[in-house]
Structure 1
């Protein structure tokens, strides 16, 4: 087994229903170094929204090249600490799917998030096509010597007039195609995902579910999500918001002291 696939297998093994891996998502070399230094950190994960913000862009304007540049800085830190790295690959960048996955593999990445909403066409990718894209990603990884590559297949169907049953149907298809987990995105615009929805998704996907941690009022804590049986929890750009608020507050204090 190659060293890279060993990391992929380690990352895959961290996805346990009822004992979820919590990703404190990072977005550049500095944030990656801060998180990697923590003894509790088992793996690193990038957040495309945060990488875009760090580059002065909106999430929908993040190109493959700029995303790769952000991941490259994080990958340096992951390698230094011997940690698995999973990258937020957005919607796969259309015809650049295989090219992008190959470049991520060359950086040492051993997993990705892959969305099923086409940001260019502004529509959901048909389930058959989205499922085939999971297979295509895994085929590239296998040819690279990383058969245990982790795909966290994200579905945005709840944001586009879909029901929980639709998210489960898509999630099951992605898991059957080789994804490690299905990531059902609720978005702040709809108030996230309710406890009853998480329970339904966990039951429908046999626990192989990734959710975003809602740190706001009414959000379910990590302990509760673990009790329900999810396998993976992400922070997304939440810690970047915290960091930038602290940065601005410190700068304001200094400027006011003049």
Structure 2
């Protein structure tokens, strides 16, 4: 059931005040490890995926590449998978709608769409941003199965607009049909509380940067329904590679390699039941 129609199971995880962790993976192996360790759902990460392709974050992955990557993660575990699909891979509302349709075909349980475009990384004007989500939501509702659309107000994170504008946009996105709203890295935890109190749909929070110091219980108290990791887990992995490589190449020190997980443990975690 979950593999063929992941939408209902994914939607049911969105419980305000009892958030699940959307575990952002970057390949089939990391997805299977996270599933074996107890993840309830998997997310892609646009940044982490770009890193695997040897590219920087921010509009460097094509829609076809993102869809193929998403399909790989869908095939890797029985868990629902949500795509982190940047601006929907186009400026026009129809681009967002087409991305939704193709994501349904790829087997994804949902996707997130941002309100900032590339390459300028500037927010779309308010009315245009709302129409993009309206078109994506219409495509999601017209799909042959359930599909969870998350609308992101990214302007606070990039310093392009303030929290009041983010609240305005999130409420408008919900009115336009978004199933979940998301303002990454607002100024303060109280802003997440405000968003959760105002939003008629579940709210996603990002556990990255200073928000990685916030325990799940505090997110639950705030009313959050979903906690995503973005590229944070991938960046932790890159930190291990970075530090071990510096020790090896600068000092001839291989001791960081003694901290790895045993092969047998990894093999067992990769053997996710079908």
TM-score clears 0.5: yes
TM-align CA RMSD: 2.6
Report the CA distance shift for 1:249/1:218 in structure 2 as closer, same or farther (over 3 A): closer
Corresponding residue number in structure 2 for 1:227:
221
Q: Unaligned regions of 5+ residues in structure 1, if any?
A: 187-191
Alignment of 1:1-258 (within 5 A): 6-38=5-37, 40-60=38-58, 61-77=60-76, 81-94=77-90, 95=92, 96-146=95-145, 148-158=146-156, 159-186=158-185, 192-206=186-200, 208-214=202-208, 216=210, 219-249=213-243, 256=252
How many pairs are equivalent? Answer: 247
Could you report, residue by residue, the CA deviation over 1:91-142 in whole angstroms, capped at 9, with x for unpaired residues?
0111543333333222200200100011235421123322222232233334
Q: Deviation at 1:63? A: 2.0
Question: Is 227-236 or 157-166 further displaced after alignment?
Answer: 157-166
Question: Is 118-127 or 163-172 further displaced after alignment?
Answer: 118-127
Any conservation in 1 of the 2:138–2:177 contact (CA below 8 Å)? no
Q: Secondary structure at the match of 1:34?
A: helix
Q: Distance in 2 between matches of 1:246 and 1:121?
A: 32
Q: Distance in 2 between matches of 1:130 and 1:31?
A: 33
Q: Secondary structure at the match of 2:204?
A: strand
Q: Distance in 1 between matches of 2:24 and 2:34?
A: 9
Larger Rg: 2
Could you report, residue by residue, the CA deviation over 1:41-70 in whole angstroms, capped at 9, with x for unpaired residues?
111111101101111112222222332232
